[in-house]
Amino acid sequence: MCGIVGYAGNVLMPSRRPLEVCLQGLERLEYRGYDSAGVALTAPGVDHVEMRKKAGRLSNLVADIEARPLSEATVAIGHTRWATNGVPNDVNAHPHSSRDGKVAIIHNGIIENASQLRLDLQAEGYRFVSSTDTEVAAKLLGKIVDAVIEETGGPNLFEAMRRMSRMLEGAFTILAVDCRQPGVVVGARHDSPLVVGLGEGENFLGSDVAAFVAYTKTAMEIDQDQAVQVSSDGVVVTDFDGNVVPDSVIYEVDWDASAAEKGGWDSFMDKEIHEEPAAVQNTLLGRLDANGDINLDEIRIDPQDLKAVDKIIVIGCGTASYAGLVAKYAIEHWVRIPVEVELAHEFRYRDPILTPRTLVVAISQSGETMDTLMALRHAREQGSKVLAICNTQGASIPRESDAVLYTHAGPEVAVASTKAFVAQITAAYILGLYLAQLKGAVFRDEISQTLNYLKDMPAKIQWILDTQTDTIKEAAAQLVNANTVLFLGRHVGYPVALEGALKLKEIAYTFTEGFAAGELKHGPIALVDEGEPVVFIVPPARGRNMLHAKVISGIEEVKARGAYIIAVAEENDKDVERYADVIFWRPEAPTLMSPLVDVVPLQLFAMDMAKMKGYDVDKPRNLAKSVTVE
């Protein structure tokens, strides 16, 4: 939600053009928001910060700069916006400037006391041109910079930023530049992400490492309520009172810039779906020792504490919460302790029962989802341990958790989550099997058999990618004008139905609903009319064939009412062949593993349909990849 980038190069001999660094960083961060974009630059000897901003995609800004080039600079900040307050237009786009135009800021988050601050400033004669909270902060920062100059005789943007941060309520990451200090960019963060990129003779700031990974893979964490000043030759981190923080964590980013490029694919979503076999495989890597036991030393919770866990609550939002629902079936089955799954934004406000023996598992691709972050803070305050399943190194959620199990899906750029979903399920399965191993809830040979099944899953996903794409495309073409699509599944097929429905609604803008197939007769069947498309996730006929028979009955019932049936089913399922109009086949897999394959055709189906409708599948309207406001 809003992408932020900052760059400080050498004042005398810049190694790169700050504008280019910012524009490239914004291109990589555009998945965080794409309502408008803007940059602010400054250099020695100028009397105001130069700004340029445009509504719409980053390409609008780039075209505008090409038509009317900006001056050379030593430092720059850039912003790509997901509007929170104020419609997306040129005026509301960031940066915003101080009254005298000497200071410019960009901001991610929501400043909750902006209305009061605006009234106070208006009473002092300040005028506002936009309806954003960010402009309030810009005017306020300019005022504080002036006060600091009056007190000390010189500009000190860093000190001014700290003073302002103490006055702001809500969530914010703010970066600022001042033309009187053309060698520095300063920043501050509270409940919103910010990370530093450490270069040689240059330093970077970004909402996440994607902003600068093309230039450096060495990153430094900025913690909650810290401020930072970067120049070409140094980085200083303090708390909001000015106390220097000497020991910020520095780490190496474990992927390179090419991982966040399309690499020949026409969309990130297509690329990322095709990376799913690798996402599962890489998430399994390194988690088994030579004896075939699961080894999760990395999670840093005392095994005795984990052994004592008597309840798990999984929290997450959107796709991550559906991965949690899948995990519930597996973990309860293996570990025999109750697993609740709750949307993070609901969890926090219902006074959940949490004890030191409750393990809260926070699932998040980005690691920055504010709802999930707030929920995990609540759980920790109540004395429960929190384990994060996360795809983003160094993000707030893993940093604030007691332990983390990283998914190794690589950077996910498309707003619609795909490879992260299968990686999250894989990580949750490893966790479940590890708990079962610790508690002795499952025999060792069963654990190793289950792990073998899991190891086979990448090849099974690949089989779908290799054999089903034409059928899926034809089905998407057939249904491209459908107004509604229903998705039904049972057991682990239920969360897959929810995820299939979410994918289609978020990128093809088709009205969809996902239901537990057993609910059909309790209401949803009233929606079924002649030609209504209904997608069924069919469990295998082998094993728990009770489930299979029930889903087939559901198919028969809607078929009898004229529905158009699309089934995701295991190869050679004769019952499905009898009733379905279209079948997306998937290879044989144990029931608990089946979501890893069943979801793939639904992701492709949604992507194909969105493309046929002419939509940008990577950047669906109104959405952003990382939801950093509550």
List interacting residues with ligand M6R (CB under 6 A). 317-320, 364-366, 369, 372, 415-417, 502, 506, 623, 626-627
For the chain, the straight-line distance linking the first and the last C-alpha, in angstroms and rounded, comes to: 11
Q: How deeply is 303 buried, as exposed, middle or buried, from its count of CB atoms within 10 A (0-12, 13-18, 19+)?
A: middle
Q: How deeply is 265 buried, as exposed, middle or buried, from its count of CB atoms within 10 A (0-12, 13-18, 19+)?
A: middle
Bridge partners, 219 (sequence order): 197, 251
Torsion of Cα atoms, 181 then 198 then 76 then 256, to 10°: 180
SS3 state at 157: helix
Is the CB of 168 or the CB of 596 nearer to ligand M6R? Answer: 596
The minimum distance between CB 368 and ligand M6R, in angstroms, equals 7
> String of b and e for 599-625 (b: at least 16 CB within 10 Å)?
bbbbbbbbbbbbbeeebbbbbbeebbb
Return d(Cα 285, Cα 276) in angstroms, integer.
14
Quick check: 405 and 385 in contact, CB under 8 A?
Answer: no
Is the CB of 9 or the CB of 500 nearer to ligand M6R? Answer: 500
The minimum distance between CB 603 and ligand M6R, in angstroms, equals 9
Is the CB of 227 or the CB of 314 nearer to ligand M6R? Answer: 314
The minimum distance between CB 231 and ligand M6R, in angstroms, equals 32
Give the residue carrying structure tokens 């599948």.
Answer: 617
Q: Which whole-number Å values give the CA distances from 442 to 439, 448, 450, 600, in the listed order?
A: 8, 10, 11, 29
390 is catalytic: no
Quick check: 601 and 472 in contact, CB under 8 A?
Answer: yes
Alpha carbon 537 to its chain centroid, in Å, reads: 26
625 is catalytic: yes
Is the CB of 182 or the CB of 495 nearer to ligand M6R? Answer: 495
The minimum distance between CB 178 and ligand M6R, in angstroms, equals 34
Q: Which residues have C-beta within 8 Å of that of residue 405, sequence separation ≥ 6?
A: 296, 298, 299, 387, 388, 389, 390, 427, 430, 431
Residue nearest to ligand M6R (CB): 318
The minimum distance between CB 410 and ligand M6R, in angstroms, equals 14
Return d(Cα 575, Cα 554) in angstroms, integer.
12
162: which DSSP letter?
Answer: H
Is the CB of 75 or the CB of 629 nearer to ligand M6R? Answer: 629
Q: How deeply is 17 buried, as exposed, middle or buried, from its count of CB atoms within 10 A (0-12, 13-18, 19+)?
A: middle
The beta strands (E) that lie in 191-310 are given as: 195-198, 203-206, 218-221, 226-231, 234-239, 250-252
The minimum distance between CB 394 and ligand M6R, in angstroms, equals 14
Is the CB of 346 or the CB of 581 nearer to ligand M6R? Answer: 346
Is the CB of 106 or the CB of 415 nearer to ligand M6R? Answer: 415
Report H helices in 411-529: 419-439, 444-467, 469-478, 493-508
Is the CB of 232 or the CB of 407 nearer to ligand M6R? Answer: 407
Return d(Cα 447, Cα 470) in angstroms, integer.
37
Is the CB of 165 or the CB of 369 nearer to ligand M6R? Answer: 369
Q: Which of 139, 385, 460, 625 is catalytic?
A: 625
Return d(Cα 558, Cα 563) in angstroms, integer.
5
The minimum distance between CB 93 and ligand M6R, in angstroms, equals 23
The minimum distance between CB 405 and ligand M6R, in angstroms, equals 14
Is the CB of 203 or the CB of 372 nearer to ligand M6R? Answer: 372
Quick check: 113 and 68 in contact, CB under 8 A?
Answer: no
Q: Which helix (H) or strand (E) holds 316?
A: strand 311-316
Amino acid of residue 164:
M
Bridge partners, 360 (sequence order): 313, 386
Q: Which whole-number Å values give the CA distances from 255 to 33, 194, 210, in the listed order?
A: 22, 18, 10
The minimum distance between CB 335 and ligand M6R, in angstroms, equals 23
Amino acid of residue 267:
S
The minimum distance between CB 72 and ligand M6R, in angstroms, equals 37
Q: Which of 2, 22, 179, 390 is catalytic?
A: 2
Bridge partners, 170 (sequence order): 111
Active-site residue list: 2, 625
